[in-house]
Structure 1
Amino acid sequence: MSILLNSLLTELRRGTLTLAVLSQLRTPQYGYSLVQLLEQSGISIDQSTLYPLLRRLEKQELVTSSWDTSESRPRKYYVLSEYGMEIFLQLKKEWIRSSKEMYGLLKGEEDDESN
């Protein structure tokens, strides 16, 4: 894969990862459980990408975190804030609209290529 293509794919993926993470934080999740949920949906994310993203989302007040120390290994749980839920729902609506538009454009391209 060329360096340019790799860079463009990373750029394309960056926004989708934020939406994917937000979609899974309607219920509290800790980092590893979040990675597993995303991977079950076919979305791979490295912990080196996930944790900085979670910190950024927390700083933006979209996500809140709390420590669970009830087990032998303390875990930091993340969940959407009320504001985060509002933003997530708006992003989801926009994603669906944009995806339909993009699909229409790309489907037209496929029709052109098959001729």
Structure 2
Amino acid sequence: MANVDASEKLELELRRGVVVLAALSQLQTSRYGYELRQSLADGGMVIEEGTLYPLLRRLESQGVLSSEWRTDQGSPRRYYVLSPDGRLLYERLTTSWRALNDTMDHLLTRGAPDDER
């Protein structure tokens, strides 16, 4: 059972590393929180509200996102979109992600050298 707990913790660490990039990828256009959450879930990245909303507030406070309240479609909703700095960050993180992904694909395909197997 201890191995399962350790495995779950390690998977959670891996996932935490990509949640920001996943959220940024869906904020090229304005979305409110629930809409963003649904978009991410539809793409296979399920994020709990308790993770998403603090993340959005933190990214906004860092200048990565801009937000505005809209009341034109019923109840007030806060819409988020990438700021100009957020677009630059998204491009940098995407480039880093692709490089890391290529490296990991290479390492995982190659496996351990023959003398270590």
What is the TM-score of this pair, normalised by structure 1?
0.91
The match for 1:32 among 26, 31, 34 is 34
Aligned to 1:42: 44
Q: Which stretches of structure 1, 4 residues or more, deviate above 2 A after TM superposition?
A: none
Which amino acid is 1:10 matched to?
Answer: L
- Match status 1:72 vs 2:66: no
Task: Report the CA distance between 1:36 and its aligned residue.
Answer: 1.1
Aligned to 2:102: 100
Say which SS state the counterpart of residue 111 (structure 2) adopts: helix
What is the TM-score of this pair, normalised by structure 2?
0.90
- Match status 1:52 vs 2:42: no
- Match status 1:87 vs 2:89: yes
Task: Report the CA distance between 1:17 and its aligned residue.
Answer: 0.7
Task: Report the CA distance between 1:59 and its aligned residue.
Answer: 1.0
Segments of 5+ residues of structure 1 without an aligned counterpart are: none
Q: CA RMSD in A?
A: 1.8
Segments of 5+ residues of structure 2 without an aligned counterpart are: none
Q: How many residues align?
A: 113
How far, CA to CA, are the matches of 1:15 and 1:81 in structure 2? 21
